[in-house]
Structure 1
Amino acid sequence: MNKPKSLIITAAATILVSCQEGRQTQTSITPDWTLGGFQRPEGVNPIISPDSNSVFLDPMSGKQVRWEENDTFNPGAVVKDDTLFVLYRAEDKFGIGIGFRTSRLGLASSTDGLHFERSEEPVLYPADDSEKQYEWPGGVEDPRIAVTEDGTFVVFYTQWNRDTPRLGVATSKDLRTWEKHGPIFAKSKYTKLMETSHKSASILTTLKNDKLVVTKINGKYWMYWGEHGVKGATSENLIDWEPVLDDKGELAKFIETRPGYFDSALTECGPPAILTDKGIVLLYNGKNHDEKEQADSRFTLGTYSAGQVLFDKNDPTKVLDRLDTPFLRPMEDFEKSGQYVDGTVFLQGLAYYKSKWFLYYGCADSKVGVAVYDPAKASPFDPIP
């Protein structure tokens, strides 16, 4: 594996560990395995916002639909040739509340990672196909995308039929025409998953020849997934996945929520994980608890912030380290207004582009934002209140 020098971080930004009951007060140097800090480019965000002019002939209803009129959020990101692409979730106005409209995936391209041109129509959406039982009427949600060394793009997304959310997978060679392969656990020996809610898949990648590509560990593809505790799964072909089980034959959890911390309610996997010389770095979305007694008092109840955890590069189930405070949190107005006013930075897209790291995230379930980490210029994490 090429040594990703962009991950050798020398920033001496400090993080404060909470002094809430049960924890000691201390100050420590940011561990050298972490990614970032990420800075929001001035005058750029949000990079993608709802557009009522985009019209699409919906194959399910047979009607013209303003498919990205209500919200645009939760993006995945990948590089193709010299262009950075974002695949983002868009909701129409048919329905009230998060999850009760129809979601489709739009495509946007950029040559600087900051300014985007959007396709007029969605590229992945519910249709009269083999997946309609899983994808209609709720749609396709929350894409996390990566690319193999041979140029095959793979996206893991939530299939939402307004009954049970399931992880689905699709592949493409051009990012515009996608082949759906269905639920990733459809052939799993752990049959209970097909009837159990599951989402948020972060496939393992590595930086090779300045390109972030899908990689294997111990001879298999690997992913982290889940929102109530981080779980794992392996695959031989990127399409069919087997979850990692514990010694009791149930789903193994490698990290879980922590009362009194920023991730006290949820630990939801973010963009593709990265295999580095230090280990496997997973960026994840932590939700602060809605109940004051369980939450981290420094953050708004119910707010989503971003954490990092390090796993052993030879044993992806083994946790080596974990940040106690978020490295990115809702601070800007566009991150605290929209569908989710408690505040949300929801990470899903990570790309290495022109010697910098571009992190794409959903803002309050309403818009798309970007933050950039330049390894040549050390910068701190978001400040802790």
Structure 2
Amino acid sequence: MHRSKNEQHSETISTALNVDRKSQTIERDSTRVICRFLMHGGDPARAKSIINRIFKLDQSEVKPLLDHVLEEFSDRHLNLRQILDNHYRLVRNYIPVEDVTCLSREQELLIGAYFSMEYAIESAALFNPSIVPHPDQTGVEKGSLRFIMSLRAVGEGHISSMVFRSGIISREGELTFDPPSSYVDTPEVLNPVYYRHLFYVKLREMGTCNSVAEYILEKLPKEFSREDLKNEIKALSDEPKFPEKEQLKCFKDMQRLADSNYELNFHEDHDLSERVIFPVSEEESGGIEDARFVQFRKDNGELVYYGTYTAYDGKTIMPQLIETYDFNHFKINTLNGNAIKNKNLALFPRKINDQYVMLSRQDGENNHIMFSDSIYFWQHSEIIQEPMEPWELIQIGNCGSPIETEYGWLVLTHGVGPIRTYSIGAILLDLEDPTKVIGRLEDPLLRAMEEERIGYVPNVVYTCGALRHYDRLIIPYSMSDVQPAIASVKIKELVDAMKKS
């Protein structure tokens, strides 16, 4: 649901700069639920006990129980039977082989139901949007643009996932959102091919490249599958050649790395707003945070969408790269290298001087820039901006990928000031040498208005990416980490308001 804000739609920052706050806000909807796998307590022994209790049900009880589940929940999910079957398969290994062959179809689905739970993906918050042109502009009126917006959704237990909205920007810069579906669905998870050399390099960064890992990798082909890795781990586990503790730690790290690189496939006939990317790997178990999407132009002119996001396991973070051409099929890979630290990674929309370029914040305080021949490996960074103004003295960072303009690379930034207030600012980088800051706003472009200060995290305005539409910058932003809104500003006015370096 998209509602209007009953406030003045513009805020004057200076005599030269006028920011137009649009009337739309994007509402979170607690009725949008996924049916996720529930491993009670994470304990295999408990899972076996639950399954044994289900086995004790008389067959005459099984069908009515299953029918009741399907009747009560089928209208809340697009493919409930398939979901229950998937969840049954995840616990099938806890059932004795002789019993598996005797199970009826109803028993299988009922077991799946007992290992399922509904999860309201955006019940707590919906925030930190980024926006890119839609890959399909078919049928769009001349001068208008179809867009895709990614958002961070937070539900029970503060687990973050990635959701999407779509709509049209008119020639005049007005936004119309497509109504979101009442359904949401998670994708099929596919295991990709792994490259032995890249796998070795990442293990070395993780401090796991020991004799155990080297032994296993020597047994694997140059390109191997998740099943290949599983088989080699099992072979070494059955006939140990190294101390047990050392082997077990290495097995766990190799499996976690493999699980962090995967592919996702959504049904093409499902609406974009029905697609939710929910944590898959252990590295993401605490959430998928703050995706910064960019439409990237390859050397051959082909367009692809990259997004950087933070995988969080409840204790540590791991920067990830997500790639898609159509927002149906996604590839997820870990980012690697000595410079892959902290959050706030934002890729430039094209190469510069034959190198990939990325903004970052390795030290948690300053804006950095990195260059690399490979999009997956980043070894060095340098500081390009330090906090200077009162509203950013605690720390600064980027607010999404740079936007190419005739004036330079336009970068939205965020700054943290007194009482942990977050404001949005802007800088301008040289087109040919983006290590040079050639302009910056001395005052915030956006700061929280009074009615925007109340929310999940008070006194915050924040965005993960804006979009150029003709002469205007369209800025989706979140208000106190609870609800997104839209603002826009004329690019020339923004650049003219900057202090030149």
Instruction: Quickly say closer, same or farther: Cα 1:302–1:378, change in 2 above 3 A.
Output: closer
1:219 aligned counterpart, secondary structure: coil
Whole-angstrom CA distance in 1 between matches of 2:350 and 2:435 = 16
- CA shift at 1:145, angstroms? 0.4
Q: CA deviation at 1:114?
A: 4.1
* CA deviation string 1:47-82 (max 9, x = no partner): x22211001122475422111111000011111133
RCO higher in 1 or 2 (8 Å CA, sep ≥ 6)?
Answer: 1
What residue is the counterpart of 2:402 in the other structure?
273
Alignment pair present for 1:171 and 2:323: yes
- Secondary structure at the aligned position of 2:177 is classed as coil
The answer as to 2:367 corresponding to 1:230 is: yes
Letter in 1 for 2:356: Y
Runs of 5+ consecutive residues of structure 1 not aligned to the other structure: 1-12, 16-28, 31-35, 95-100, 205-213, 246-251, 290-300
Within a 5 Å distance, the mapping from 1:90-239 to structure 2 comes to 90-94=153-157, 101-112=158-169, 113-118=175-180, 120-121=183-184, 130-131=259-260, 132-136=281-285, 138-149=286-297, 150-182=302-334, 184=335, 186=336, 188=337, 190=338, 196=341, 198-204=342-348, 214-226=349-361, 227-238=364-375
What per-residue deviation string (whole Å, max 9, x for no partner) do you get for residues 136-157 of structure 1?
Answer: 1x11010110112323111111
The question of whether the paired residues in 2 share the 8 Å contact of 1:357 and 1:374 is answered with yes
Equivalent positions of 1:26-37 (< 5 A) are 37=18
Q: Which amino acid aligns with 1:313?
A: L
Residue matched to 1:79: 133
When residues 77 and 378 of structure 1 are mapped into structure 2, their CA distance, relative to the original with a 3 A threshold, is: closer
- For 2:410 and 2:429, the matched residues in 1 are separated by 7
Could you tell me how far 1:203 is from its partner in structure 2? 1.8
Residues in 2 aligned to 1:111 and 1:70: alpha-carbon distance in whole angstroms: 27
Aligned equivalents of 2:446 and 2:477: distance in 1? Answer: 10
Q: SS in structure 2 opposite 1:369? A: strand
Paired amino acid for 2:365: H
Q: Deviations over 1:76-126 (max 9, x none)?
A: 1111133211110000122xxxxxx11000011112334343353266899
- Distance verdict in 2 for CA 1:151–1:311, change over 3 Å: closer
Report deviation, 1:380: 11
Displacement, 1:280? 2.1
- Kindly provide the CA deviation profile for residues 323-372 of structure 1, in whole angstroms up to 9, marking residues without a partner as x: 22111111151x2111122x111021212346643111121011111112
Q: Letter of the 1:115 partner, please give it.
A: F
Structure 1 residues 60 and 371, CA gap change in structure 2 (3 angstroms): farther
Distance in 2 between residues matched to 1:358 and 1:125, nearest whole Å: 33
Partner of 2:88: none
Residues in 2 aligned to 1:379 and 1:321: alpha-carbon distance in whole angstroms: 8
Contact 1:49 1:71 in 2 (8 A): no
**Corresponding residue of 2:247:** none
Q: Deviations over 1:148-180 (max 9, x none)?
A: 232311111111112122321111122233211
After superposition, what is the alpha-carbon deviation per residue over 1:185-224, rounded to whole angstroms, capped at 9, x for unaligned? x2x2x2xx56x5x1112222xxxxxxxxx21112112111
Flag the structure with larger Rg: 2
Q: Indicate if the aligned counterparts of 1:267 and 1:286 stay in contact, CA closer than 8 A.
A: yes
Whether the 8 Å CA contact 1:225–1:268 is kept in 2: the answer is yes
Instruction: Tell me how far apart the structure 2 counterparts of residues 379 and 244 of structure 1 sit (CA, whole Å).
Output: 29
- Contact residue 345 and residue 363 of structure 1 kept, 8 A: yes
Q: Supply the RMSD in Å over aligned alpha carbons.
A: 3.0
Do the aligned partners of 1:106 and 1:118 also contact (CA within 8 Å) in 2?
A: no
Q: Return the alpha-carbon distance in structure 2 between the equivalents of residues 253 and 377 of structure 1.
A: 27
- Residues 87 and 105, structure 1, Cα contact 8 Å, conserved in 2: yes
What is the deviation of 1:312? Answer: 2.3
For residues 355 and 274 of structure 1, what CA distance do their matches in structure 2 show? 12
2:208 alignment partner in structure 1: none
TM-score normalised by L of structure 2: 0.55
Structure 1 contact 74–368 (Cα < 8 Å) conserved: yes
Q: Distance in 1 between matches of 2:178 and 2:393?
A: 35
Q: Between Structure 1 and Structure 2, how many residues are aligned?
A: 303
Deviation at 1:237, TM superposition (A): 4.4
The 1:145/1:286 distance shift into structure 2, 3 A limit, reads same
